[in-house]
Copies of this chain bind each other. A is one copy, B any other.
Amino acid sequence: MVTREEAGALLDGLAAVAAHLGHWTEADWDRAPDEDIHSLVERLLKEEAGDVAGKLHTGRSRNDQVATDARLWALDATEDLDHGIRALQVALLEKAEAHVDALMPAFTHLQPAQPVSVAHWLASHAWALERDRSRLRDATARLSVLPLGSGAIAGCPFPVDREELRRELGFLSVSDNSMDAVADRDWVAELLFMASLLGAHLSRLAEDVIIFASPAFGFLRLSDAFSTGSSLMPQKRNPDVMELARGKAGPLLGDLVAMLATLKGTPSGYNKDLQEDKAVLFRAFDTLGTLLPAVEGTVRTLTVDEDRCQEALEPALMATDLADALVERGVPFRTAHEVVGKLLLAVEASGKALNALSSREAGAVHPELTHVDLARALDPVRSVKRRASTGGTAPERVREQLRALRERLA
């Protein structure tokens, strides 16, 4: 349908159009009378190449072209997103590598529970992000499907070699059904879900940092560059970036809902409703494109106050270790738990530190306690070392974990 000569004229013309548009100002774009970018290009092409411009549209319709363009955009955008997530993971990893032997309390219910390596806490967020990248990779298989050659809905009446198109445009596969191809926006919903769950992860990291950087905790100190003070209260470090990271989980979820609710109940084939896909997709990627580097910078520049972390390791956090020591001496499990519970209560009442108790005082709660080396049983370093199963917080396990993470990020 298109001769080699015509093809050459079209390609030259398109190059000229691209060069021309490269010089356009915002105002030029506003002034353009065309219905959409496709009409605009065809009009300019006609000015450059004459009537052959009318052949540009051969074998394609607006429906399959729009679907193809959007997927091409998203293939680039997801690659950028992957880089952005990885950069944040690297920041977490490097911060973790610097604090493998520093200890802090791990919390359940925001109550201190057990000592862990600071690196273990930092890495826990990096692993969640690793799942986001894994989801993104999986989504690509469904994103990288070529709709071009599906016509408006029923297929293309010209002998288009779609396999060749796929190769040229770098898609992984070709769509199987033209009706489905022009109306499939699953991949938009899938990317938005991915963005929304990533947003939830960032919000959880943000919540940790906001709380741990609050003076009452004092585990972390944000850099000047990634916090806000005031001339009046220069010691104040408002964690603005982290609050935005926590807050943005809302709009990212909203964008996902927008797309899924839009899809709901539309009849098959192309419907104008589907046009909503681009605004929400662009918005979500813009949000993450701004947010990820900001969170990365915050992590990269924050300081861990190892002393405050250490001070927070009250002996009660080693209660399970003490109970385990009793169990090792033959005290039944449930009894050991009750004994330690009583001991903690007694100590709390006395105002004495648990690890400052004499053997005799301890023995008053349960005779077997006289034989337990309290200082050793309540040593947080030992407690951490004991958690040496895969994925545990023991230093060698954490080092192993960080190596594994680094490999994933290579």
Assembly stoichiometry (copies): 4
Residue A19 lies at the interface, judged by CB distance under 8 Å to chain B:
no
Which residue on chain B has the smallest CB distance to residue A247? B273
Residue A47 lies at the interface, judged by CB distance under 8 Å to chain B:
no
Q: What are 6 residue pairs bridging A and B, where the CB atoms are less than 8 Å apart in the complex? A: A128-B180, A149-B390, A159-B388, A176-B390, A208-B267, A216-B312
Contact status B387-A204, CB under 8 Å: no
Residue A65 lies at the interface, judged by CB distance under 8 Å to chain B:
no
Nearest CB of chain B from residue A154's CB, rounded to whole Å: 4
Contact status B153-A113, CB under 8 Å: yes
Contact status A250-B269, CB under 8 Å: no
Residue A258 lies at the interface, judged by CB distance under 8 Å to chain B:
yes
Query: Residue A262 contacts which of B131, B141, B236, B247 (CB distance < 8 angstroms)?
Result: B247
Contact status B176-A127, CB under 8 Å: yes
Contact status A334-B231, CB under 8 Å: yes
Contacts of A273 in B (CB 8 A): 243-244, 246-247, 250
Nearest CB of chain B from residue A174's CB, rounded to whole Å: 6
Residue A120 lies at the interface, judged by CB distance under 8 Å to chain B:
yes
Residue A196 lies at the interface, judged by CB distance under 8 Å to chain B:
yes
Contact status A387-B151, CB under 8 Å: yes
Contact status A190-B153, CB under 8 Å: no
> Which one of A8-16, A78-86, A319-327, A362-370 is at the B interface?
A319-327
A257 CA to B256 CA in the complex, in Å?
Answer: 9
Contact status A237-B111, CB under 8 Å: yes
Interface residues in A129-182 (C-beta closer than 8 Å to B): 131, 134-135, 138, 141-142, 149-160, 162-163, 174-181
Interface residues in A330-370 (C-beta closer than 8 Å to B): 332-334, 337-338, 340-342, 344-345, 348
10 tightest A-B CB contacts, nearest first? A155-B392, A254-B258, A247-B273, A250-B262, A155-B387, A243-B272, A250-B261, A124-B179, A254-B254, A138-B138
Contacts of A394 in B (CB 8 A): 155
Nearest CB of chain B from residue A65's CB, rounded to whole Å: 14
Contact status B120-A265, CB under 8 Å: no
Residue A292 lies at the interface, judged by CB distance under 8 Å to chain B:
no
Known contacts A270-B108, A271-B109, A319-B233; A280 and B254 CB within 8 A of each other: yes
Contact status A157-B390, CB under 8 Å: no
A106 CA to B63 CA in the complex, in Å?
Answer: 14
Contact status B236-A267, CB under 8 Å: no
Known contacts A155-B387, A247-B274, A391-B176; A108 and B265 CB within 8 A of each other: no
Nearest CB of chain B from residue A46's CB, rounded to whole Å: 10
Contact status A238-B127, CB under 8 Å: no
Contact status B271-A243, CB under 8 Å: yes
Contacts of A240 in B (CB 8 A): 109, 272
Which residue on chain B has the smallest CB distance to residue A279? B251
Mask: chain A, 178-201; 1 = CB below 8 Å from B; 0 = not: 111100101001100100110110
Contact status B267-A264, CB under 8 Å: no
Contact status B269-A180, CB under 8 Å: no
A256 CA to B192 CA in the complex, in Å?
Answer: 13
Nearest CB of chain B from residue A354's CB, rounded to whole Å: 10
Residue A211 lies at the interface, judged by CB distance under 8 Å to chain B:
yes
Residue A293 lies at the interface, judged by CB distance under 8 Å to chain B:
no
Which residue on chain B has the smallest CB distance to residue A332? B54
Contacts of A123 in B (CB 8 A): 177, 180
A112 CA to B175 CA in the complex, in Å?
Answer: 23
Mask: chain A, 100-111; 1 = CB below 8 Å from B; 0 = not: 000000111111
Contact status A142-B153, CB under 8 Å: no
Contact status A211-B110, CB under 8 Å: yes
Contacts of A107 in B (CB 8 A): 153, 214, 267-269
Contact status A106-B179, CB under 8 Å: yes
Which residue on chain B has the smallest CB distance to residue A259? B250
Contacts of A249 in B (CB 8 A): 260-262, 264-265
